[in-house]
Amino acid sequence: MSAAHDHHDGHGDIGYHATLKGYATGFVLSVILTAIPFWLVMAKVLPPDATKFIILGFAAVQVVVHMVYFLHMNAKVEGGWSMLALVFTIIVVVVMLAGSIWVMYHMNANMMPMDPHAMRNMP
């Protein structure tokens, strides 16, 4: 085989080549995206409800950082199929979580109410 075939996967896609700079950038961003929410919680800077939503936002950003810098996911790798698989996975997870929350909410709302006396006599 020639040298051209040694670095080629046969499908016209050379793929993503990781660099030390890319890993270092991802690591620094991950540390920052972990340290800020940790500080918000430990210093009690904001009310608990606001802190919850801010932590969720930082978590979502950190997931994206990990996918880009460590899993090397982008629209170019594998002809875009890895990104399409990710989008499909996200849709399935959102549907499953929303459906589960919906079912649990309605099961709780439609449960037969019990009086305190009946609850004490339960085994």
Q: What's residue 16's pLDDT?
A: 62
Token pair 């890993």 is found at: 23
Would you tell me how many other CB atoms lie within 10 Å of the CB of residue 13? 13
The pLDDT of residue 14 is 54
pLDDT beyond 60 at 7: no
- Measured between alpha carbons, how far is 41 from 31 in angstroms, rounded to an integer? 16
Average pLDDT value for residue range 89-112? 88
Q: Which two three-digit tokens encode residue 9?
A: 């996967």
N residues, the chain: 123
Positions of E strands within the chain: none
Q: How far is CA 107 from the centre of its chain?
A: 28
* Confidence at residue 112, expressed as pLDDT on a 0 to 100 scale: 66
The answer on pLDDT for 40 being more than 90 is yes
Question: Is pLDDT above 60 for 69?
Answer: yes
